[in-house]
Amino acid sequence: MRPRTIEELVGQQQLRAAGSPLRRLIEGDQSMSLLLWGPPGTGKTTIAAIVSQQTSRRFVEVSAVSAGVKEVRAAIDGARAELVRSGQETVLFVDEVHRFSKAQQDALLPGVENRWVTLIAATTENPFFSVISPLLSRSLLLRLQSLTDDDVAEVIDLALVDERGLAGATGLDDDAREHLVRLAGGDARRALTYLEAAAGAAASNGLDAIDLGVAETAVDQAAVRYDRQGDQHYDVISAFIKSIRGSDPDAALHYLARMIEAGEDPRFIARRLVVHASEDIGLADPTALQAAVAAAQAVQLIGMPEARINLAQATIHLAIAPKSNAVIVGIDAAISDVKAGRIGLVPPHLRDAHYGGAKDLGHGKGYRYPHDEAFGVAEQQYLPDVLADASYYVPTSLGAEAGVKERWERIKRIVRGKG
């Protein structure tokens, strides 16, 4: 079922668009080296094969898992000899190029620099960390995105009817299709593997269609009742956040596992953790936000399934952390006053006094520079008159915020002249 032309390629609309580098390479028959970066099953090997077929180039594949410098040089020497002998160019496809050592990647440079080969290298890891700079600078970097559920469903539907697939011999129920799509996790190759296994199971049972039961049995994984756009989506994420707020890491991990297995977008989970770290923990544990943001960055850098570990670590951290909602209560109270019109003028001594004529207006007059004061705190009014006694941030005595509360109370007495 591997696509034979760029028109048959599913997903990656940004690479298939008119005028895109991939289009120009194929339709213009240009010699250009590519570095394809993306998750498994998104079409990296397929794109290399399409370039070879549609431009009538030889296709030579080298696996970074098993090949060494000797094999790389042999492939380039063979491409050079073929170019001299017949004029035919060669597409050299290097899968998992991040596994190559520096010496092995260096061996690719002569072929790329002299245009003896059209190098197409594929990697699932960030090439800025795993590919040497000379090779990176001589290649056009194309980033592939995970296939959407609709893309994977399209791949499955094509395989059901195509003569290279099941050729219409087996049907597929809607709920079974949804299950296979969800398990594929944006990986077309995995989707086809599961479909083939399910079709074989259906045939063994004398069935002419794959139902949900057959699909579950064939891939040995029960369907998770979860609709990413429906009630389950909102119910499970709600239970997840409330379990963290309630300091139950076991319950939080359960709901996290349900979302992961159902194919929920890990970036959505990470965003909720970042929000929760400030909304329900705040300064009771200042490291909570750092942990949540780090998990969100790990999701982007590493991707699934490995990033499940980072999400789990952040979930546990937030669940067992002391809780405080003082941050959200404070900002919401301040916003409420602003919306109600309690704004007032900025006190004159706080206004900008750097432009000509500002001092004549009294701007900055009487301002006390805190660094010149004892303890680095000056007694003066910062809020507008109408809000002079407002108190938005009310720290709790929980966790690290207990120390913050003690310090804030001392500072407040000095700032507002009550100490």
Architecture of domain 149-228: Orthogonal Bundle (1.10)
CATH classification (class only), 232-320: mainly alpha
Does the domain at residues 343-416 carry the CATH identifier 1.10.274.10? no
Q: Are 223 and 175 in contact (CB under 8 A)?
A: yes
pTM of the predicted structure, to 2 decimals: 0.50
Structure tokens at 174: 């809607």
Comparing 149-228 with 232-320, is the CATH topology the same? Answer: no
Cβ neighbours around 393 below 10 Å, total? 17
Q: Coil, strand or helix: which one is 218?
A: helix
Q: What is the pLDDT of residues 112-163, one digit of tens each?
A: 888 888 888 888 888 888 889 988 888 888 888 878 888 889 999 999 999 9
Residue 90: the pLDDT is 85
Residue 330 pLDDT: 94
Domain range summary for the chain, segments of one domain joined by +: 6-143, 149-228, 232-320, 343-416
User: May I ask the CATH architecture of the domain 6-143?
Assistant: 3-Layer(aba) Sandwich (3.40)
Mean pLDDT by 10 residues, the chain (419 residues): 83 79 73 82 83 80 79 88 87 86 87 86 85 88 84 91 89 88 81 90 88 81 50 79 93 91 86 95 95 94 90 96 94 91 86 72 83 87 86 90 90 81
Provide CB contacts within 8 A for 307, sequence distance 6+: 266, 295, 298, 299
